A and B are shown apart, each in its own frame.
Chain A
Amino acid sequence: MEYAILFLPLLGSIIGYIGRSLTSYFAEISTSLFVCISAILSILVFLNGYQNNIYGNYLIFEWISSGGFTANWSINVDPLSSVMLVVVTFVSALVHIYSIGYMSHDPHKPRFMSYLSLFTFSMLALVVSDNFLQLFFGWEGVGLCSYLLIGFWYKKETANNAAIKAFIVNRIGDFGLAIGIFLIFFFFGTINFDEAFQVTSQFANKKIVFFGFEVNLITLICIFLFIGAMGKSAQFLLHTWLPDAMEGPTPVSALIHAATMVTAGVFLVVRCSPIFEYSQVALNLVTVVGMITAIFAASVALVQNDIKKIVAYSTCSQLGYMFFAAGIGAYHVAMFHLFTHAFFKALLFLGAGSIIHAFQNEQDIRNMGGVRKKLPFTYIFMLLGTLALTGFPFLSGFYSKDAIIEFAYLKNSSLGNYAATIGILTAFLTSIYSWRLFFKAFHGDYNNKKIPIHETHESPFIMLIPLMLLSIGAIFSGYLLKGTFIGDYSNIFWQSSIFFLNEIKHDFIPMWFLLTTPVLVLISIPVSYYLYVLNPNVLENFKNTNMPLYNFLLNKWYIDEFYEKVFVNPTKKVGSLFWKKGDIGIIDKFGPDGISKLIKTISNKTGRLQTGFIYDYAFVMLLGLSILLTYLILK
């Protein structure tokens, strides 16, 4: 069964691609079917583990063995990976089904479906690995699929650039992850998770000299692993690829850039909790980066106009939440938020896709509005998604996000309090930008000049079913699984897959604190309705008086421009310099060309001596003879 979960998507991908010429439906049916089976099996495996406590490690075959550097291809099912299995295969199956409708007009649909299944396989290989090398395989494998899918519409220059950007920024993160793995292998002597985690405590206080600095080994390992996580999960400074990645088809954004791949960083930190727990410095770093990302992305999301970019920044911001939850040591809460977020964010993305579909590929929310009656189902599902994201009481986001803020408070340290404050503030911003999107897209006047309103249409059934299933998840997943993931049963459920050195105690939390976030979230609904629908002039005036701030946010803090100037352009210049000046100007000039020129000059000069005139030769002979005579006489 475990083997089937992993290999069915791969099989679907391959036979879907090969058989794409048989009938036009072959690829979509085979890929969707296989992933759906895989999803059902995943849920069975999860329940089997949850109820009967049946977990295990299933060997596929030995991969590599070089001295102590050994790794197997294997399927490791434990509570952590079983949760990820459910998230990945469930969302993937729904996205497959949705894509059948969404991509129905695209001639390259079989290729698209095949990539989606390949992605699912890579992501599964990542979450079920029992060693760092297979994790790295999945890690870069999902990066590859992300590259292929972002650049799916390969005729678009922007899509190609976004694809390359995503891969290379991720590679910078992978650089960190690779160094982390080298450190682990060098000191722990193994890259197997269990073996590495077992010996971690022995190195708790070990210091090593790294570039002249004496640093704690565990801290160093964690920092490098975290750089990898930052790249994949689009954390501040390595986030720039995620908004650009919206160039890909919308189902891709829902699957890869919301529910699964971008959460791999969080998964990595949680998986390595036995290492992170021994380094307070690294955990603090994780918290700080998570906090900055959460507030940064939320601030940028406030002013963006592209519907997908708003949701993308929102994803970035929510990933920030997960990281600061992990940073304060509440790994299970991070996983819980990862779980609920997968539902409502995939729902929002697919809903956004449905809106884009209705407006015939229009993505600017300024050109939407007033279509709630035309798109009744999409309206309801987007409403549920927005409520869940903002943390409206008793929906899934409420349980997971508020839990993060509460745990930050319970941490009872200054950093924890900062995190809680930032968390509340970000929750408020989240609520504002989410409702802005919602109101601008559905309420107010119809603002699209290209398409008359009667041409907008509700999406087909096949796209609405996945939305419905996801909204069920967005509503109930928080309430139903709260006890298991973060509540009283959490220790029994997670077992040893999450490690706590100092567990945060469930203390008393003051009532005012518990109520702050929900109250802010509730207040924000009428506030945004007033600002974005009833009286937009208030905001317009505010924008005009604070143009620099607006531009700063609109241009995403100018980080892309900064990178372009500081990294991209100089790299190209240096490359040119090395080539034109280094290779051609120095090495060749003084090397082979120089030598041949020298030989040529010398031979020209000596050649000129052979004039062929007898008196020249006679003169030289005479000269020689006189020199010889002089020498002999003087001696």
Chain B
Amino acid sequence: MSFPILSTLIFLPLISSIFILLSKDKTNNNSSIYISLFGSFATFLLSLFLWYSLDVNTSEFQFVEEKSWINDFIKFKLGVDGISILFLVLTTFITPICIISCINSIRVRVKEFLIAILILETFMIGVFCSLDLVIFYLFFEAGLIPMFLIIGVWGGPKRVYSAFKFFLFTLLGSVLMLVAIIAIYWITGTTDITQIYEIKIPKEYQNILWLAFLSSFAVKMPMWPVHTWLPDAHVEAPTAGSVILAAILLKMAGYGFLRFSIPMFPIASEYFTPLIYTLSIIAIIYTSLVALMQDDMKKLIAYSSVAHMGYVTLGIFTLTKQGIEGSIYQMISHGLISAALFLCVGVVYDRLHSRMISTYGGLVNYIPKYSLLFLIFALAALGLPGTSGFLGEFLVLTGTFQKSYLAAMLATFGVVLGAAYMLWLTKRVIFGVANNSEIKNLKDVNKSEIGMLATLAFLIIFFGFYPLPLMETFNVSVNSLIYNYETALTSN
């Protein structure tokens, strides 16, 4: 076995958090910040190297590590393929950005905050490279704890209610998934997913197990009607928390569908497709309409996230090439766009301490650079061609159209609503005349802010025009996913 690169990747943030713990910051937190930045950048570079050295012409898991953890029961098994690598890179890319954003926004217990973020990163990386159900479950649920703390300790005034709601929803879902994992072990005698793929779970168990997994993924996604924790969590979470939540935590469920639900329960996946379509369409239309009426910027963006995730679930369960590729693309792109939008809200929140749309207006007169960036992200969020937001949506809709005209038409109509709420938001925040005297004294984005936002803007536009680096990475893996699904259905 070669160098354990995935384990290194997972534990690098954890180790840097230990260094932060050991650092002796008294008056300022500079050394903590430098350590965490260094640690997260090193992780990012390592993940880029991993992406670079990944062979995209095979759908096999690569860089596989396998260690026995509990004798003959749970193996610590890791590996990546063309799909998970992108989520991995997204995670390691977003984390340093979050850390930079803390410099401006977090004032108390900076050290502890950084530790929470880094530990969270460890868990998130773990989720995307686990090849064992139990390990996956541990990482998946452990991520809740730092997130719960981030909202509960550094959050806004209603943080306790939000943190509690977040925990209640997600935990209820996961309990059922744990039961399902135990059941799978009981049926197949293993929790190693590559072996489960081979064994094939009998048809009679699939539906119930699929539903158990759904209950967890639906909450994390979040799908309608278990989405109401998300707006509250976002509203109360500090900026970095919102960014991680929107950019990465929401992607875990989509990844979960691709990695577990579809390959392990293909028959059930087909059986429940109408259910997913219905929920996705409701999510798209319903939450877009709700987003239209919000007066809190973060809530609006949170509701728009639910709508965007609706496209993701829709695309995944079309089980067409375009649908699945579109969903993956949409997830990556939403990771960048929603992160950018929440950072944008964070920038003005740090200055005026208000998230209300009515506080703002006419920003373009005083902080033009910020306004330009905000406009770019808003346009990306409404899926303008030339930004990464467009391709994901368009591919999903192309895929959906091959399965259901009705679903595709309703979902396409959601695009119109998306334009409505995003442009109305932009109009009320950016354009118009300032009606608040404080706005006149606002300072435009500083160096670290413009660095983060401009990088994100560049990537969003770059991947809008040239998506091939991403698409080539997951092409073969998606092909084999669909191939396995279809053979499972025909052999049934």
Contact = CB atoms under 8 A, between A and B. Distances in A.
Interface of A: 61-67, 69, 73, 133, 136-137, 139-141, 144, 147, 151, 154-155, 157, 160-161, 163-164, 167-168, 171-172, 174-175, 178-179, 181-183, 185-186, 210-211, 571-572, 574-576, 578-579, 582-584, 587-588, 591-592, 595-596
Contact of B228 (A178, A587, A595): A587
B321 A164 contact: no
Nearest to A178: B412
B471 A65 contact: yes
B1 to A, nearest CB: 35
8 contacts: A62-B468, A133-B385, A160-B427, A179-B408, A571-B289, A576-B293, A582-B286, A591-B225
A172 B164 contact: no
B362 A155 contact: yes
A279 B365 CA distance: 52
B394 interface: yes
Contact of B465 (A63, A163, A571): A63
B373 interface: no
A588 B364 CA distance: 37
Contacts of B225: 587, 591
Contact of A171 (B402, B406, B419): B419
A141 B390 CA distance: 12
A571 B228 contact: no
B220 to A, nearest CB: 15
A574 B394 CA distance: 26
Given A63-B467, A164-B427, A154 B322 contact: no
Given A155-B362, A592-B164, A592-B228, 19 more contacts: A61-B466, A66-B321, A66-B471, A69-B322, A154-B430, A160-B432, A167-B419, A168-B419, A171-B416, A179-B412, A181-B398, A182-B401, A183-B401, A571-B420, A572-B293, A574-B289, A575-B291, A582-B290, A591-B225
Most buried by A among B169, B231, B394: B394
Given A175-B415, A182-B397, A576-B293, A167 B423 contact: yes
Contact of B409 (A133, A172, A179): A179
Contacts of A133: 385, 394
A592 B232 CA distance: 12
A188 to B, nearest CB: 13
Contacts of A579: 289-290, 293-294
A151 B398 CA distance: 32
A73 B467 CA distance: 12
Contact of A66 (B322, B379, B390): B322
Contacts of B228: 583-584, 587-588, 591-592
Contact of A596 (B164, B226, B419, B430): B164
A379 B325 CA distance: 59
Nearest to B321: A67
A483 B165 CA distance: 74
B346 interface: no
Contacts, number: 147
Given A66-B325, A168-B420, A182-B398, A154 B386 contact: no
Contacts of B390: 137, 140
Contact of B168 (A211, A572, A595): A595
A211 B406 contact: yes
B149 interface: no
Q: From DSSP, what is the main secondary structure of chain A's interface residues?
A: helix
Contacts of A575: 289-293
Given A178-B412, A587-B228, A151 B289 contact: no
Given A178-B397, A587-B225, A160 B431 contact: yes
B205 interface: no
Interface in B393-446: 394-395, 397-398, 401-402, 405-406, 408-409, 412-413, 415-416, 419-420, 423-424, 427, 430-433
A144 B384 contact: yes
B155 to A, nearest CB: 17
Q: Considering the complex of A and B, which 9 residue pairs feature the smallest CB-CB distances, nearest first?
A: A67-B321, A182-B401, A575-B289, A154-B431, A137-B385, A575-B293, A579-B290, A575-B292, A66-B325
B146 to A, nearest CB: 21
B229 interface: yes
A587 B390 CA distance: 31
Nearest to A60: B465
Which of A69, A133, A168, A183 gathers most chain B CB within 10 Å? A69
Nearest to B168: A592
Most buried by A among B289, B325, B406, B412: B289
Contacts of B335: none
Q: By CB atoms of chain B within 10 A, which of A64, A66, A67, A591 has the most?
A: A66
Contact of B423 (A164, A178, A210, A584): A164
B39 interface: no
A524 B386 CA distance: 49
Given A65-B471, A168-B419, A179-B412, A186 B402 contact: yes
A579 B289 CA distance: 8
B364 A154 contact: yes
Contacts of A183: 401
A506 B292 CA distance: 55
Interface string B314-350: 0000001110011000000000000000000000000
A190 B409 CA distance: 20
Nearest to A209: B405
Contact of B165 (A181, A582, A592): A592
B412 A175 contact: yes
A576 B295 CA distance: 11
A600 to B, nearest CB: 12
Nearest to B293: A575
B253 interface: no
Interface in B349-398: 362, 364-365, 379, 384-386, 390-391, 394-395, 397-398
Contacts of B226: 587, 591
A61 B231 CA distance: 41
Contacts of A141: 384-386
Contacts of A63: 465-468
B427 A182 contact: no
Contact of B431 (A73, A151, A181): A151
Nearest to A17: B372
Contacts of B413: 175
Interface in B188-235: 225-226, 228-229, 231
A168 B292 contact: no
Given A179-B412, A596-B168, A66 B326 contact: yes
A576 B290 CA distance: 6
B44 to A, nearest CB: 27
A186 B320 CA distance: 12
Contacts of B290: 575, 578-579, 582-583
Nearest to A183: B401
B397 A164 contact: no
Nearest to A210: B405
B139 to A, nearest CB: 25
Given A167-B419, A167-B423, A179-B412, A157 B292 contact: no
B385 A140 contact: yes
Given A182-B408, A587-B228, A592-B229, A64 B471 contact: yes
A61 B465 CA distance: 10
A448 B231 CA distance: 55
Contacts of B320: 67
A584 B286 CA distance: 13
A140 B291 CA distance: 23
Contacts of A172: 416
Nearest to B362: A155
Contacts of B430: 154
Contacts of A160: 427, 431-432
A169 to B, nearest CB: 9
A592 B169 contact: yes
Contacts of B420: 164, 168, 571
A141 B386 CA distance: 8
Nearest to A591: B228
A172 B420 CA distance: 11
